[in-house]
Amino acid sequence: MTSYSDIESEIRTLAKQGFDGTLAHRREIHSNPELSFAEHNTAAYIENELQLLGLKTNRIGITGVWAIIEGEAGDGPVVGLRADLDALPITENNSKEYISKNKGVMHACGHDVHSASLLGAAAILVKIKSKLKGKVKLIFQPGEEKLPGGASILIKEGILENPKVDLMIGQHVMPLIETGKVGFREGLYMASTDELYVTVKGKGGHGAMPHLTVDPVAITAQIIVALQQLVSRMASPIVPTVLTFGKINSTGGATNIIPSEVKLEGTFRTLDESWREKAHEKMKKLAEHIAEGFGAEIDFVIERGYPFLKNDVALTSKLTSAAKKYMGEEKVEKLDMWMAAEDFSFYSQKVPSCFYRLGTRNEGKGIISSVHTDTFDIDEDALEYGSGLMAYLAFISCGGVL
């Protein structure tokens, strides 16, 4: 009989032996980033590497790739492992040998790490499939960074069917956590996200004669303040809610010219779907009433984004315990709730799911930058844990033979 300690040891050894390959995957993908839904070369690279492992590959959502690893130890669940492929429209400001070759495009959110880790995990699982029950469905997903989110498209195109996925596991880098550590959280973890696009249409004129204008700048200021009060006064104090306006522009205008139009863009995030719907309605009505009261017109468009992400409590508890066995108890942290958003949430709305964090920070190496910045990088030692732990969690979830 194989023991848990034996399989843990075997997977650790395989992750260490496969490190150079996982590292090569990460650097290749990092050097050749592609934007959301345009990951053609990345998808082709993934296909080739999976085929070298003896796996049959399938395309979905044009640039999505999936494959199945068949366990040989009997029946069991189908476990979905997800990585995302797309990069961000950022010009990289690093000096490493593997920096982006595509100016203005950069893997600044670790999707190169996710894909490389899943390739590394796949290589491990292929080697231990004689001890594996059920199936592991490898999902390399496009377009996480862009609405409507690649996850929503893949679900519509049947990624959770044929074979039907019983549970999903996703991994994401976390530059706030040291390399060699991981983070888990049961229950609600990440927020829904919606994009707000507001246009206030007034009547421009001379800055010295405001009484002859309908000033959209002043009206927009009133709207911003009022909407912030809506969040602070109407949202339940126990329901996390964030409203942020990050962009404001006028059409025309100068120090002494009142413009005719102002455009406002922002984001609304929460962890409660009922309040999300009510807030959409209330924000629109309040903004419309303010604009109307000052004689202006308004277009208030809400582009619905990702839902909140909820980690299944039973599954996440099980995988947290497994991670403590694999990594060591002191290497597993409890995550705080986070108001960022992730399209893995679409999977979490459909099947029991667990989305956890891989530590990539190393202050001694100067690797401290946040995701979505032009200096983001990872301590590449994390790749050994990225591939090994994901393979181990998949094995445990499938009910591997012990």
Q: What is the pLDDT of residues 1-43, one digit of tens each?
A: 455 668 999 999 999 999 999 999 999 999 999 999 999 999 9
Q: How many CB atoms lie within 10 A of CB 216?
A: 30
Q: Are 198 and 265 in contact (CB under 8 A)?
A: yes
Give the Cβ contact number of residue 196 at 10 Å.
Answer: 22
| Position 241, amino acid | T
Based on the residue annotation, tell me whether 306 is a catalytic residue of this protein: yes
380 Cβ contact list (under 8 Å, min separation 6): 23, 26
Name the active-site residue from 45, 306, 385, 392.
Answer: 306
191 closest CA partner among 279, 307, 303, 275? 307
Interatomic CA distance for residues 192 and 42, integer angstroms: 28
Report how far residue 157's alpha carbon sits from residue 144's, in angstroms, rounded to the nearest whole number. 16
Nearest alpha carbon to residue 175 among 370, 25, 344: 370
Measured distance CA(223)–CA(288) in Å, rounded: 9
Whether 392 and 117 have beta carbons less than 8 Å apart is answered as: no
Res 402: pLDDT: 36
Domains of the chain: 4-189+308-398 (3.40.630.10), 194-304 (3.30.70.360)
Q: CA 244, 284, 247: angle at the middle one, nearest 5?
A: 30
- Of the residues 380, 384, 385, 392, only one is catalytic, namely 380
- Would you state the structure tokens that stand for residue 388, as one six-digit string? 């090994």
pLDDT of residue 401: 44
pTM for the full predicted model:
0.93
Using DSSP, how many helices (H) and how many strands (E) does the chain show?
10, 16
Both structure tokens of 235: 């949202």
Name residue, tokens 């998808």: 43
Report, as ranges of residue numbers, the positions in the chain whose pLDDT lies below 70. Answer: 1-5, 400-402
Check residue 4 and give its pLDDT.
60
Chain centroid, CA 232 distance in Å? 27
